[in-house]
Chains A and B, each alone.
Chain A
Amino acid sequence: MVKSPRLRDSLWMLIAAPTIWSLHFLFSYVTAAVWCAKLAEGASLGGARTAVAMYSAAAIAAIGAVAHYGWRRHCQETRHPHDVPTSHGRQRFLGFAILLLAGLSAVAVVYGALPAAFIASCH
């Protein structure tokens, strides 16, 4: 049975937004940890905070794109409920789930950026 690649993509898109969050989290943590262990002059976080801010902007933009994709999936079709036994129903469901996960991931990314906003030193 041949499936169009477009449809196959969407299960991976489900985890796209949280994956972006994971990368944001990992990069922020590693940057701060390496900064404090190797680069910090005195105990100032300086450059690491800028880096986290940049990661956050990039992550939010990427999650925005994922959310847009999910939104399109969700609204492209006529307004079926999500539990109809057709590929439309499945697509609408996945679109909505992608959208919700993008929302959660966006909040988590903002949370992940807060420490860099509030904490200025390596202590």
Chain B
Amino acid sequence: MSAEDEAIRRDQEERLLQAWKTPTGWRYWSEVNNTQVGLWYMAAAFSFFLFAGVLALLIRVQLAFPDNDFLSADKYNQVFTLHGSVMMFLFAVPIFEAFSIYVLPQMLGSRDLPFPRLSAYGFWCFVIGGVFVCGSIFFDAAPKGGWFMYPPLTTRFQEGLGADIWLLGLSFIEVASIAAAVELIVGILKCRPPGMRINLMPLYAWYVLVVGAMILFAFPPLIAGDLLFELERMLDWPFFDPSRGGDPILWQHLFWIFGHPEVYIIFLPSVALVAMMVPTLARTPIVGYSWIVLAAVGTGFLSFGLWVHHMFTTGLPGISLGFFSAASVAVAIPTGVQIFCFLATLVAGRVARTVPMLFVSGALAIFVLGGLTGVMVAIAPFDFQAHDTYFVVAHLHYVLIGGMLFPVFAGIAYFYPLVGGKMLSPRLGRIAFWLMFVGFNVAFLPMHFTGLRGMPRRVFTYPEGLGFDGLNLISTVGAFILAAGVLVFAWDVVRPKGRQPYGPRNPWNAGTLEWLAEVPPDKPWGVRSVPVIESRYPLWEQPDLVRNVDAGRYYIPDAEERKRETLVTSVLDAEPEECLRLPGPTYLTIAAAASTGGVFIFSTFHWWWAAAVSGLLGLATILVWLWTGTALVPEKPWKDVGMELELPLYRSGPESVGWWAMFITMLGDSTAFASLVFGYFFYWTVHDDFPPEGAGPDLAWPAVAAVCILGSWLLTLGARSWNREGRGTAFTVALGVAVVLAVAGAAALLIAPAGLDPTSHVYPAIVWVLMIWAALHVGLGVVMQGYVLARRWAGRLTAEYDIDIRNVALYWHFAAATAGVTVAVVAGFPLVG
């Protein structure tokens, strides 16, 4: 390399460094880059894991002996509720999001995810909501209804704010999860390196794609359920109160439509980790790449047909149980395929004995047993006995600890060098593994028998002489051994490593792009240049890749304008489409998270004014964020990205990442709406007269609403075209009228049920919810219409640069459909029925 080249390279690096520099001092926390946010996210999720682990030990101490009084019944109920909720909502799902935010861009040879500020916002929401929920136990105010919160126990038979803290705190976090899902899906579809066609994607990306989609369809039903639940608690709308037409079983449906996919949302990313580690550790490409994709996609679908297996004992008709039993059994097939893909890869390769391999083997041994007991409980008759007993406690811990915790620990041991360039201690790793493996089995294997001997779950104590005593004591001993292993591992992770030398670059000799990471890891730009990919294992099969990446011979090796940039490519074949400008550090995300968090937290305490102010602040912050940080008109239309390629700096419509984000978000939103509609028809099936005779809103107002909203939607679409044609006046007039029509439509939606008292019966309550839901969507549509009007006046939206109006039009498709379906159900169905 000539001296001139060397000088150019140094200048490029200097500029990249300026663009990607992590702020220092207290400004550090304004960073939004995936590396920092991912690290914080992982650290926070692990803190919650340790907290919930301590709760687990409290549970085990209480249950060590019969009739123990270490914890009172009330305290115990808080502890086990929080243990389950924290492990599921604050550790198992977020750790996957955290890790994906951290590593996915590196796996895809990308500089960052497409919406860094959204990741940061999600993280801050997560921390605020998590601390709020966990903190409640120190005030003796923790939720105590179990992590499944079954009404009517939690709606009418428990004192205190616990249930509100659970509902509002965790709803808030679910929003953050959905944000992360949108981010990750778009990242995988649109931010792969050139040449990384869909058949060359790392398996991790396949899994995250599937899991992201699952989150979109699984979390919204719970959010819908939470909404109904909170309305019952705060306003006495009787959704789950049988004395006024409600039905507690509806909550169970909504909860488990979320709750079972949730298990796979937790499990699949961990399998994805294994799918990344096994080929490296066995030194051979994965056997059955397509089979794993089959398994991931298949599991994603089938997992939505399992939810009633949590309700096998609710007295549903046998045939209903049969359908869900069948799907629960069917899902074992793709799960088995994955395991055999890994086994086959191990057989085909030459396996190195390392700490990650040890944890993967342990995971396999544990998970397979959990899977087998899973098939047992999928057979409905056996579940009649096993359900709600310690057998299920054993089963679910075998599945989650074998299927999630051990792979995650393997992943930490494996990926740790990416973070600081240093390796974990193999000796401590082995000690931790054996403590954890032995401790786990000592703790949980006996529980199968405890359960079959008749010990129900969620009991704060048990009497002597039923055969539970010895088994429980053994379990407690095992739990402490397991905890000791976790502590050893945690110590290895956090112990100071100042004097330990850096490990080699790509220490495991892996084949995938994340191992391009440089050692020492002091380069915040992710990859020096974005490579062209021609293989599933580019570091194995593309000679000189590392050298060329480091020398800046691929795409975007420079940051001439000192701006953060990454490549956007096409969905199937990863052809370069756009050079995407990414936003830099900001406090807006923290402010937005704090103010949206305020809405939920203040509502918990019924401080309505504070909540309203907080909500307005949140809306304002988000508008400022959008206004200053998104859809920026670039200083030039095209940019040279290296390798003799020029790419546009701005794209709108389906080629833009923003359009996909809107589309995906609205899919999730529609799922929540569909859940509410499901609720309406669910009540129809349980009642002989639904809607009750003569109870419905008349046809007139709903019809007015439908016409107005339809008009507003069409005018918005018109505005989109007129903007493109440069007809500014038509654009302004159309949107102006659209705003008026939308406001009128929303008002008509809310006037329609005005005569119905939602506390009197579930029918008016569900009608009101549907109407409010639709009206809120139309209202948000009005804000958007106003926003694009302002953008156009300010010159930030032009005929050429029109992301905003196209995304708003896309939103309006969904909003109009929501309103249309609402009117059809509320006003139309009574005519049919």
Direct contact between A and B judged by beta carbons closer than 8 A? yes
Residues of chain A whose beta carbon lies under 8 Å from any beta carbon of chain B: 1, 3, 7-8, 10-11, 14-15, 18-19, 21-22, 25, 28-29, 32-34, 36-38, 45, 48, 82-83, 85, 87, 89-90, 92-94, 96-97, 100-101, 104-105, 107-108, 111-112, 114-116, 118-119, 121-123
The answer to whether A29 and B323 have CB atoms under 8 Å apart is: yes
The answer to whether A101 and B304 have CB atoms under 8 Å apart is: no
Q: A120's closest neighbor in chain B, by CB?
A: B319
Instruction: Pull 25 A–B residue pairs with CB atoms less than 8 Å apart, ordered by A.
Output: A3-B572, A7-B572, A8-B571, A11-B198, A14-B297, A18-B298, A29-B324, A32-B319, A33-B317, A37-B685, A38-B685, A82-B290, A85-B534, A87-B573, A90-B199, A97-B290, A108-B330, A112-B327, A114-B326, A115-B321, A115-B322, A115-B326, A119-B319, A119-B322, A122-B317
The answer to whether B197 and A87 have CB atoms under 8 Å apart is: yes
The answer to whether A108 and B327 have CB atoms under 8 Å apart is: yes
The answer to whether A90 and B572 have CB atoms under 8 Å apart is: yes
Assess whether B329 is interfacial by the CB under 8 Å rule.
yes
In the bound complex, CA of A45 to CA of B318 (Å) = 11
In the bound complex, CA of A7 to CA of B572 (Å) = 8
Assess whether B302 is interfacial by the CB under 8 Å rule.
yes
Minimum Cβ distance to chain B for residue A11 (Å) = 6
Minimum Cβ distance to chain B for residue A101 (Å) = 6
* B46 contact set on A, CB distance < 8 A: none
Assess whether B533 is interfacial by the CB under 8 Å rule.
yes
Q: B288's closest neighbor in chain A, by CB?
A: A100
Excluding A28-B323, A32-B320, A85-B533, 10 further A-B contacts by CB distance (< 8 Å) are A1-B575, A1-B577, A18-B297, A21-B301, A83-B285, A90-B572, A90-B573, A104-B330, A104-B333, A123-B317
The answer to whether A11 and B326 have CB atoms under 8 Å apart is: no
Residues of chain B whose beta carbon lies under 8 Å from any beta carbon of chain A: 195, 197-200, 285, 289-291, 293-294, 297-298, 300-302, 304-305, 316-327, 329-330, 333-334, 533-536, 570-573, 575, 577, 685-686
The answer to whether A116 and B319 have CB atoms under 8 Å apart is: yes
Minimum Cβ distance to chain B for residue A63 (Å) = 13
The answer to whether B319 and A104 have CB atoms under 8 Å apart is: no
In the bound complex, CA of A36 to CA of B317 (Å) = 7
Q: A83's closest neighbor in chain B, by CB?
A: B536
The answer to whether B570 and A1 have CB atoms under 8 Å apart is: yes
Q: A104's closest neighbor in chain B, by CB?
A: B298
Which residue in B298, B535, B686 is a CB contact (below 8 Å) of A83?
Answer: B535
In the bound complex, CA of A29 to CA of B293 (Å) = 27
In the bound complex, CA of A8 to CA of B573 (Å) = 10
In the bound complex, CA of A24 to CA of B451 (Å) = 35
In the bound complex, CA of A118 to CA of B321 (Å) = 12
The answer to whether B290 and A93 have CB atoms under 8 Å apart is: yes
Q: B536's closest neighbor in chain A, by CB?
A: A83
* B575 contact set on A, CB distance < 8 A: 1
In the bound complex, CA of A14 to CA of B572 (Å) = 12
* B195 contact set on A, CB distance < 8 A: 85
In the bound complex, CA of A21 to CA of B575 (Å) = 33
The answer to whether A32 and B572 have CB atoms under 8 Å apart is: no
In the bound complex, CA of A38 to CA of B198 (Å) = 47
In the bound complex, CA of A115 to CA of B285 (Å) = 41
Decide yes or no: A107 and B289 within 8 Å by CB, A18-B301, A22-B305, A123-B317 being known contacts: no
The answer to whether A115 and B198 have CB atoms under 8 Å apart is: no
Closest A-B pairs by Cβ, 7 of them: A115-B322, A93-B199, A18-B301, A100-B294, A85-B534, A111-B326, A108-B330
In the bound complex, CA of A119 to CA of B337 (Å) = 30
The answer to whether B197 and A111 have CB atoms under 8 Å apart is: no
Which residue in B302, B322, B330, B571 is a CB contact (below 8 Å) of A118?
Answer: B322
Minimum Cβ distance to chain B for residue A118 (Å) = 7
Minimum Cβ distance to chain B for residue A46 (Å) = 12
The answer to whether A111 and B327 have CB atoms under 8 Å apart is: yes
Among A33, A118, A121, max chain B CB count under 10 A is at A33
The answer to whether B323 and A112 have CB atoms under 8 Å apart is: yes
The answer to whether B319 and A36 have CB atoms under 8 Å apart is: yes
The answer to whether B323 and A22 have CB atoms under 8 Å apart is: no
The answer to whether A32 and B317 have CB atoms under 8 Å apart is: yes
* A116 contact set on B, CB distance < 8 A: 319, 322
In the bound complex, CA of A122 to CA of B316 (Å) = 9
In the bound complex, CA of A111 to CA of B306 (Å) = 13
In the bound complex, CA of A28 to CA of B570 (Å) = 38
The answer to whether B302 and A119 have CB atoms under 8 Å apart is: no
Decide yes or no: A15 and B200 within 8 Å by CB, A48-B319, A83-B535 being known contacts: no
In the bound complex, CA of A114 to CA of B200 (Å) = 38
* B197 contact set on A, CB distance < 8 A: 85, 87, 89-90
* A3 contact set on B, CB distance < 8 A: 570, 572-573
* B686 contact set on A, CB distance < 8 A: 37
In the bound complex, CA of A48 to CA of B658 (Å) = 45
* B573 contact set on A, CB distance < 8 A: 3, 7, 87, 90
Minimum Cβ distance to chain B for residue A55 (Å) = 11
The answer to whether B199 and A83 have CB atoms under 8 Å apart is: yes
* B305 contact set on A, CB distance < 8 A: 21-22, 25, 108, 112
The answer to whether B536 and A100 have CB atoms under 8 Å apart is: no
Decide yes or no: A104 and B572 within 8 Å by CB, A82-B289, A83-B200, A90-B198 being known contacts: no
Minimum Cβ distance to chain B for residue A32 (Å) = 5
Q: A7's closest neighbor in chain B, by CB?
A: B572
Q: B330's closest neighbor in chain A, by CB?
A: A108
The answer to whether B298 and A25 have CB atoms under 8 Å apart is: no
Which residue in A36, A85, A104 is a CB contact (below 8 Å) of B535?
Answer: A85
In the bound complex, CA of A108 to CA of B199 (Å) = 25
Which residue in B198, B324, B325, B535 is a CB contact (below 8 Å) of A93?
Answer: B198
* A119 contact set on B, CB distance < 8 A: 318-319, 322
In the bound complex, CA of A42 to CA of B89 (Å) = 44
The answer to whether A29 and B294 have CB atoms under 8 Å apart is: no
* B199 contact set on A, CB distance < 8 A: 82-83, 89-90, 92-94
In the bound complex, CA of A97 to CA of B800 (Å) = 39
Minimum Cβ distance to chain A for residue B648 (Å) = 11
Among A15, A29, A111, max chain B CB count under 10 A is at A111
Minimum Cβ distance to chain A for residue B202 (Å) = 12
Minimum Cβ distance to chain B for residue A88 (Å) = 10
Which residue in A1, A29, A97, A114 is a CB contact (below 8 Å) of B320?
Answer: A29
The answer to whether B685 and A107 have CB atoms under 8 Å apart is: no
Q: B301's closest neighbor in chain A, by CB?
A: A18
Q: A22's closest neighbor in chain B, by CB?
A: B301
Q: B321's closest neighbor in chain A, by CB?
A: A115
Among A22, A90, A115, max chain B CB count under 10 A is at A115
* B285 contact set on A, CB distance < 8 A: 83
* A89 contact set on B, CB distance < 8 A: 197, 199
* A112 contact set on B, CB distance < 8 A: 305, 323, 326-327, 330
The answer to whether B685 and A34 have CB atoms under 8 Å apart is: yes
Q: B304's closest neighbor in chain A, by CB?
A: A22
The answer to whether A107 and B535 have CB atoms under 8 Å apart is: no
Which residue in B301, B318, B321, B326 is a CB contact (below 8 Å) of A121?
Answer: B318
Decide yes or no: A100 and B290 within 8 Å by CB, A108-B327, A115-B322, A122-B317 being known contacts: yes
The answer to whether A115 and B301 have CB atoms under 8 Å apart is: no
Minimum Cβ distance to chain A for residue B530 (Å) = 16
In the bound complex, CA of A1 to CA of B568 (Å) = 12
Minimum Cβ distance to chain A for residue B381 (Å) = 12
Decide yes or no: A25 and B294 within 8 Å by CB, A3-B572, A82-B199, A104-B333 being known contacts: no
* A33 contact set on B, CB distance < 8 A: 316-317, 320, 685
* B330 contact set on A, CB distance < 8 A: 104, 107-108, 111-112
Minimum Cβ distance to chain A for residue B217 (Å) = 10
* B301 contact set on A, CB distance < 8 A: 15, 18-19, 21-22, 105
* B536 contact set on A, CB distance < 8 A: 83
Among B197, B199, B686, max chain A CB count under 10 A is at B199
* A123 contact set on B, CB distance < 8 A: 317-318
Q: A85's closest neighbor in chain B, by CB?
A: B534
In the bound complex, CA of A48 to CA of B318 (Å) = 13
* B290 contact set on A, CB distance < 8 A: 82, 93, 96-97, 100
